[in-house]
């Protein structure tokens, strides 16, 4: 008789075979037999949190960066990030995301986010033009919306660990809110949204079968 257990191991916590876990905050699935003996083949699933940093780059402008590792192939991560019409289905910060007409046959996406932050209702609409460089980079810039500036990029980098293909995913955003919006609300709300979005991306990618 076999049983499956799921748990979180930290970077300093050994596994039952006394091997250190090389990946901080990796959720793992382990198969245990009836005699509580670990069957080889522990499979990492996904990290649980992104590292987010906010930097003041002049006046009211902020640069927000985030990064995390996803233990899945880069092609799968790319597929999730570029499914623009489906982003609002799993990203908690978005209430709408849809690809719209671009006059030069490029990629143009309208997105609307609605959140509540303390006593404030935080809602914003942006229309983004995107440039894809498969499978490494996605650049975006706002051409219309509720910020003075909203631009950035996704970077993807492949790596291999313990025979598994992984993706180092990073995100950079430069944002300048309009004068009527307090900067601290913008940076705190966007930072929390980015953390939630990274976790949602991890979970979405994990649903794609690895072949």
Domain of residue 143, CATH code: 3.30.530.20
Residues 92 and 164 in one domain: yes
How many separate domains does the chain show?
2
Residues 35 and 126 in one domain: no
Residues 20 and 73 in one domain: no
- Determine the distance from the C-alpha atom of residue 138 to the mean position of all C-alpha atoms in its chain, rounded to a whole number: 13
**104-159 tens-digit pLDDT:** 999 999 999 987 656 666 689 999 999 999 999 999 999 999 999 999 999 999 99
The candidate with the shortest Cα–Cα distance to 100, out of 87, 84, 88, is 84
The candidate with the shortest Cα–Cα distance to 125, out of 91, 98, 104, 154, is 98
Residues 54 and 134 in one domain: yes
Residues 14 and 83 in one domain: no
Residues 101 and 178 in one domain: yes
Quote the mean pLDDT of the chain. Answer: 82
Q: What is the DSSP letter of 85?
A: G
Residues 55 and 70 in one domain: yes
pLDDT in the model for residue 196: 95
Q: Would you put residue 128 in left (φ > 0), alpha (ψ -120 to 50) or beta? A: beta
Residue 211, in any domain of the structure: no
Residue 194, in any domain of the structure: yes
Structural domain boundaries, residue 23? 2-44
Residue 121, in any domain of the structure: yes
Q: What is the DSSP letter of 210?
A: P
Query: Rounded to an integer, what distance in angstroms lies between the CA atom of residue 114 and that of residue 104?
Result: 30
Q: With contact defined as beta carbons under 8 Å apart, do 54 and 27 qualify? A: no
pTM for the full model?
A: 0.78
């Amino acid at each position: 008789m076999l049983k499956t257990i799921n748990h979180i191991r930290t970077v300093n916590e050994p596994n039952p075979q006394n091997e250190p876990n090389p990946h901080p905050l990796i959720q793992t699935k382990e198969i245990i037999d009836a005699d509580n003996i670990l069957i080889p083949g522990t499979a990492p699933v996904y990290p649980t949190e992104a590292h987010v940093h906010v930097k003041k780059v002049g006046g009211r402008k902020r640069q927000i960066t985030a990064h995390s590792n996803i233990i899945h192939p880069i092609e799968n991560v790319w597929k999730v990030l570029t499914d623009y019409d489906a982003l609002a289905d799993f990203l908690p910060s978005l209430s709408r995301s849809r690809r719209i007409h671009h006059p030069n046959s490029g990629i143009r996406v309208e997105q609307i986010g609605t959140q509540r932050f303390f006593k404030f209702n935080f809602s914003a609409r942006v229309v983004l033009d995107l440039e894809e460089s498969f499978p490494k980079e996605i650049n975006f810039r706002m051409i219309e919306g509720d910020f003075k500036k909203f631009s950035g990029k996704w970077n993807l980098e492949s790596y291999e660990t313990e025979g598994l293909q992984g993706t180092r995913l990073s995100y950079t955003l430069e944002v300048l809110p309009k004068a009527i919006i307090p900067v601290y609300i913008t940076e705190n709300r966007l930072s929390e949204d980015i953390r939630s979005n990274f976790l949602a991306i991890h979970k979405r990618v994990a649903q794609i079968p690895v072949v």
